[in-house]
Every structure is written in C-alpha cells, then in structure tokens.
Structure 1
Amino acid sequence: MLEKIESTQNKQVKEWKKLLSRKGRKKQKKYIIEGVHLVEEARRYGASIDTLLIREDKVDDYKELVTDSTLLISKEVAHTLTDAITDQGILAIVDIREKKDAVELDKPILLVDEVQDPGNIGTLIRSADAAGFGAVILGKGSADLYNPKTIRSTQGSHFHLSVIQDELEEWVERLKMAGHPVYGTALDERAVSHRTVSPQDSFGLIVGNEGSGVRPNLLSQTTKNLYIPIKGKAESLNVAVAGSILMFALYP
C-alpha cells in the first residue's frame, strides 16, 4: 500500500514547495515536473526521479507509472506544489544533473544571452531539439531552466539534449578554438542577412534579450552577426520565433 501525505504542513511538503523558487532548487539540487507527458519523458530518457507524486484520486489513471518511490498526495498538497492552471494530478521531484563535459561540438550549439521570459527559454530549447542541435547554453541573466514555466514550455525537450547554465564567453571561445563559426543576432552595421550564410554542421548561434538583444561584448566576438529580413510592417520578431527560424535555416 502506498504511503499518503495529506497535510500541506508536512515537513517534506514544505521542502518540496521550496523547489518553486530558484534558490530552493539550487540548494536542494532538485526541481519539479508536472503532468503525465513530462513524467513519461523523464523516465524514457533516464532522468533521475527522486519521488513520484500522484494525487490520491488519480492513482488508477497512472497505476502503470507507480514505482517504489511513489507517494500519494491530497488535492491540497498537489495544489501547493504546482503553479499550473490545469492540474493533472501527477508530479515528480527530479534531481538536477548538469553534465558540462558531455557537450560535443560536432553539432550546432544555441547560446542564450539574458533571455528573461521562461516561455521563450522553453520554446528555444524545444526548437533546438526539433532542429537537431546538440546543446543549449543558458547564460547569466536568462530565466532558470528549472522554473516550472520553462519546464512546461520545453515539453520534455530538455531531456533530449544537453541544456547547461554557464558563461557564454567561455563557449564562444571554445567554439572558435575548435574552428567553428559563431553567429550573433543583431541589426547593426556588421549584420548580414541569414540568407547569405550557407547551412553547415557545426557552429554557435547567439540569441539575446527580448528588449536589448545580444550584449555588445558578445557581438564583437562573433564570426558574423545575422538578421532575418522582414517583408511586412512588423518592426521585429519575438526572440523564440527568430531563434527558431535561424536554427532551421542554418542547420541542414
């Protein structure tokens, strides 16, 4: 018989609730995923699930997912641990295991500079996964990968490729030392249309902040800075949309 936690005042529940904050996730080295799709993707791709939490009225719906690390929780506890509008009644506590040394340079890498909206971060990761990129590097100032909104937006893609939070300058240098071009995104005098660049197998692509774009010190280190020609009257594109277009255009 599965153990059940009913009270939101339970000591373990209070610790899990701290995972809704970046500080709590960093301290415990864990994060929360919500919904059956993310739980199934976590299991399919070998993520380290510390505890599976199933709402007591949903246990029959997810009985095939029950393991020795499964606990039942009340509706009140489930509500405490999620910020989602739709509660599917299944969550998991997952260990954070970043592997910086696992990133290979034989595929393109997306570098994300101070993109602050979790939805944009999640969409960029999902697009990088779909386009076949090898890794996504989230620089300082970007939304936290393990923010629940970011995780929901990835739709599980963060399980499929390496996503690392690190210094972008180091990765730009690493790519250039390996002989790979690094492309920025900008509208300055150095920028050229992305259509002038031939698709290739290995490169870095930098996308930047929603309002100010890529930082000047990074743009000064790139091989080329690219822009997407706009035919209509819109002044600009959302960073996740622009990044997605470039990823598919530059990688054959």
Structure 2
Amino acid sequence: MEYIQSNQNTKIKAAKKLTVKKNQRKENTYLLEGWHLVQEAIQNKAVIRQVFATEKYVDERALRGLYDDTFEIAPEVAQHLSETKAPQGIFAVVEMSETPMPEKLTGRYLLLDAVQDPGNIGTMIRTADAAGFAGVVLGNGSVDLYNPKLLRSMQGSHFHLPIYQGNLIDWMKKFNSQDVPVYGTELNPEAISYQDVPKTADMALILGNEGNGVAKDVLAATTQNLYIPIPGNAESLNVAVAAGILMFKLIEG
C-alpha cells in the first residue's frame, strides 16, 4: 500500500479539490470524510474510487475490498484534507449519483425552497429518512447536495433515500398532474393547521428559506398551505424543527 506523507502529492491535491462544487461537477466525484460516512458508502454500494486513511483505519475489515485503491496517509495529510478541526483520518473519493425525477410519484416527499443552512438541511434529510419519506428535493437556492458541511450533517442518509436537485415548480406540476397534494408552510389567513390535514400515503411537503420562508410563487401553486399552532410566545420555529413536527405528524394514522 502506498504511503503518502506530502500534501503536494498529486492524488492528495486532486482529492482536496473535490470539496469545491465546480471541481466536483467536473470530475463527477466528491470527497467524503469520516469513518461512519465511509462505512455508509461501502454498505450502500456507492462507487468509491479512492480511500485515504491514516494508520488507525488502513486495516479495517470494511476496506479490504478496496485495498488496491486505498492509500495510507500521514496525520498531517489528513489534517490538510479535512474540513474539520479534529479529523478522524479517513476519506473516500465517491462518484456522484444523479437520480432523475420518477415517472410516478408515490410516497411522501420533502421539498426545500432556498434553504441555505447545511445543518438545517442535513437534519431535515435525516428526519425524512427516519420518517420513511420517498425522497427529498433541494430546490433552487438551496445548499448543494455535495457541500462538505451538508455531507457531514446528513450522516449518510443520502445513501438511504434519493435526493434530487431541481426547480420546485416543475416538481409541483408533476405532483399536481398525478393528483398528489402539495402542502406549503406559511402563517396566513388562508393556511390551516397541520392537524386538520387528512392523512395520505402520497403527498409533498414544502419548507422554505430560514429568513423568508417559502417563495410566494411556490406558495401560490400549492394544494394547501399549513401552519403549526404555537401556544407559547415565540414568533416562529426553526425550519428543521418545524419540518420534523410536520413530517412525523403527517404520517400518523
């Protein structure tokens, strides 16, 4: 196994570039960091081109099938590759997986309109995963799926359910054409409490930008807009908290 101790190694320089969107798209790969995420990639049969690991990980059983594409790296190289202050010491170069919009939209979908905090999106994707949703759509203006902070926040859930990126209006037209209800989230006189929504196996739920909420043109195209009653004095809920409440409440019954 090749041992790499310099940040100037060509493989390391190429891997480091895969934390930037334009380079990810050019190479159709991204850099995954952390033992749990690398394990998730292996277990879910993602296409892994290279693994870079410190001595702590190179003999792990899970990496045996990737031996020819695994490189041992010095701790200082791991620090160079890492996007965190305390790197675990293992990274994988993984092929991107682009999933086209399904012809038949069945199940429950979470649609995110210009949500910009990677932590919020990661929490919502993990919650959608836990709630058994069929997919998540990252609308225009939302954080890119392969943003390093988002990858860490998702904790591997992007391997468990399809994550799409695209124009939400296009998705809403498709849902409408198949008589699938689309619920927006907004506090206004026309909105109704989520408690008054009939349960359905097929539906779409839209959450919006942390500061501005769901865009007006998107809200205008929904089947119904919902709100969460707040008995206390807070003006609003964090978008990820609101999404968690709605996703689990809308699948009950």
Give matches, 1:1-252, under 5 Å: 2-60=1-59, 62-66=60-64, 67=66, 68-102=68-102, 104-252=104-252
Q: Secondary structure at the match of 1:232?
A: coil
Could you tell me the TM-score, scaled by structure 2's length? 0.94
How far off its partner does 1:191 sit? 1.1
How far off its partner does 1:111 sit? 0.6
**CA 33–178 in structure 1, closer or farther in 2 if over 3 Å, else same:** same
Give the aligned residue type for 2:71: L
How far off its partner does 1:27 sit? 1.7
RMSD: 1.4
How far off its partner does 1:233 sit? 1.3
How far off its partner does 1:181 sit? 0.3
Q: 1:57 & 1:71 partners in 2: Cα distance?
A: 12
Q: Secondary structure at the match of 1:98?
A: coil
Q: 2:205 & 2:86 partners in 1: Cα distance?
A: 35
Q: 1:196 & 1:101 partners in 2: Cα distance?
A: 30
How far off its partner does 1:12 sit? 2.1
Q: Secondary structure at the match of 1:17?
A: helix
How far off its partner does 1:224 sit? 0.5
How far off its partner does 1:226 sit? 0.5
Q: 2:108 & 2:25 partners in 1: Cα distance?
A: 28
Deviation string 1:102-148 (CA, Å, 9 cap, x unpaired) is: 57521111110000001111111100000110000001111111111
**CA 21–103 in structure 1, closer or farther in 2 if over 3 Å, else same:** farther
Could you tell me the TM-score, scaled by structure 1's length? 0.95
How far off its partner does 1:204 sit? 0.8
Contact 2:113 2:208 in 1 (8 A): yes
How far off its partner does 1:189 sit? 2.2
Q: Secondary structure at the match of 2:93?
A: strand
Contact 2:191 2:224 in 1 (8 A): yes
How far off its partner does 1:211 sit? 0.1
Contact 2:124 2:240 in 1 (8 A): yes
Q: 1:229 & 1:83 partners in 2: Cα distance?
A: 39
**CA 117–109 in structure 1, closer or farther in 2 if over 3 Å, else same:** same
Contact 1:103 1:135 in 2 (8 A): no
**CA 92–103 in structure 1, closer or farther in 2 if over 3 Å, else same:** farther
Give the aligned residue type for 1:11: T
Contact 1:113 1:141 in 2 (8 A): yes
Deviant stretches of 4+, over 4 Å: 101-104
Structure 1 regions of 5+ residues with no counterpart?
none
Aligned length: 250
Q: 1:103 & 1:209 partners in 2: Cα distance?
A: 28
Q: Secondary structure at the match of 1:59?
A: coil
Structure 2 regions of 5+ residues with no counterpart?
none
Q: 2:250 & 2:133 partners in 1: Cα distance?
A: 11
Contact 1:103 1:134 in 2 (8 A): no
Give the aligned residue type for 2:223: T
